[in-house]
Amino acid sequence: MGKPTVCFIGLGIMGKPMAANLLKSGYSLIVFNRTREKMAALVEKGAVAADSISYCARRADVTITMLPDSSEVSEVILGGNGVAESAKPNATVIDMSSISPVVSQKIGGILREKNIDFLDAPVSGGEPGAIAGTLAIMVGGSEAAFDKVKPILQTMGESVKRVGDIGAGNYAKLANQIIVALNIAAVGEAFALAQKAGLDPEALYDAIRNGLAGSRVLDAKVPKVMKRQFDPGFRLKLHQKDLKNVLETARQIHVPLPLTAIVQQMLTTLIADGKGDLDHGALVQFAEKLSGVTIQKNY
């Protein structure tokens, strides 16, 4: 039995390299993106360009969506001529976007009535992880549906873990995004303090990175901050969107998140200052502005 045909919808910063890894692994791939130019590079590598969502989903055994937020995912899957109307019975739909768990559960319920499996499988690792195929993938859905498509997910991720039923993947991603955002905010305050005190940030980084304050966030962000490199691996405005989903979900299930609320406001301030398309590491600029310093290497 050959590998299943995959339809991939959404070829942004993350989706395009994720789809490329499916091609490298030998999957037959159909791609759809509303900005058609984004399909060209994948078509050159062997993908088939679809002229509509329905064309893509109708011909696939597995449909993957990688889109900005809940509204786009709902439109693509549940809208007219969308995935739900077009996918074959017994097909599998995997939404790898970071969206509201409640929306994931709604979509899963509608697809179940059509005899279509659904998994919510958001990712962490940013553009570098998407390119390298080393993403952390958090999956919600039935164990049977997960086992069926796990090899597909493993072409895109180094860590592929089922964490519960539909919606659990996005609950896990929301928890992940809290930790990452608060880490970056803490890094900003700590290094702004050190910079103001006259410390070399590179020396500080080398001194603390192997202690308890060390983290993958510290290693991923501080070297780029010191070089003032804020080209987006994960856009600041998308992290703000994720924290919006965190706080809305927390409100629904009655969980107070005061630290998350503060950092979400910091992100909102930076977006208002025109920084929404920078990497989320630019969150350090909030502390920099308050302190009147710039965290950078001393050459």
For residue 57, what pLDDT is reported?
A: 97
Diameter over CA atoms, the chain = 64
For residue 298, what pLDDT is reported?
A: 74
For residue 206, what pLDDT is reported?
A: 97
CATH number where 160 lies? 3.40.50.720
Same domain membership, residue 120 and residue 185: no
Q: Are 93 and 117 in contact (CB under 8 A)?
A: yes
Round to whole Å and give the CA distance between 232 and 278.
5
Domains of the chain: total: 2
Same domain membership, residue 135 and residue 13: yes
Domain range spanning residue 213?
171-291
Q: Is residue 229 part of a domain?
A: yes
Catalytic-labelled residue, pool 16, 173, 241, 275: 173
Q: Is residue 298 part of a domain?
A: no
Same domain membership, residue 147 and residue 27: yes
173 part of the active site = yes
pLDDT tens for each residue of 125-180: 989 999 999 999 999 999 999 999 999 999 999 999 999 999 999 999 999 999 99
Q: Is residue 297 part of a domain?
A: no
CATH number where 274 lies? 1.10.1040.10
Strand (E) or helix (H) holding 124: strand 123-124
Residue finishing a domain among 132, 166, 200: 166
Q: Are 293 and 223 in contact (CB under 8 A)?
A: no
Q: How many C-beta neighbours within 10 Å does residue 261 have?
A: 13
Residue finishing a domain among 141, 166, 191: 166
For residue 158, what pLDDT is reported?
A: 97
Q: Is residue 139 part of a domain?
A: yes
Residue finishing a domain among 146, 166, 186: 166
Same domain membership, residue 151 and residue 213: no
- Crossing angle of helices 201-208 and 168-196, in 10° steps, is 130
Round to whole Å and give the CA distance between 299 and 202.
10
- Taking the whole predicted model, whether its pTM rises above 0.95 is answered as no
Round to whole Å and give the CA distance between 276 and 94.
28
Same domain membership, residue 150 and residue 234: no
For residue 299, what pLDDT is reported?
A: 61
Same domain membership, residue 269 and residue 186: yes
What region does 82 belong to: left with phi over 0, alpha with psi -120 to 50, or beta? beta
For residue 285, what pLDDT is reported?
A: 98
pLDDT below 70 — which residues of the chain? Answer: 1, 299
The letter for the amino acid at 123 is V
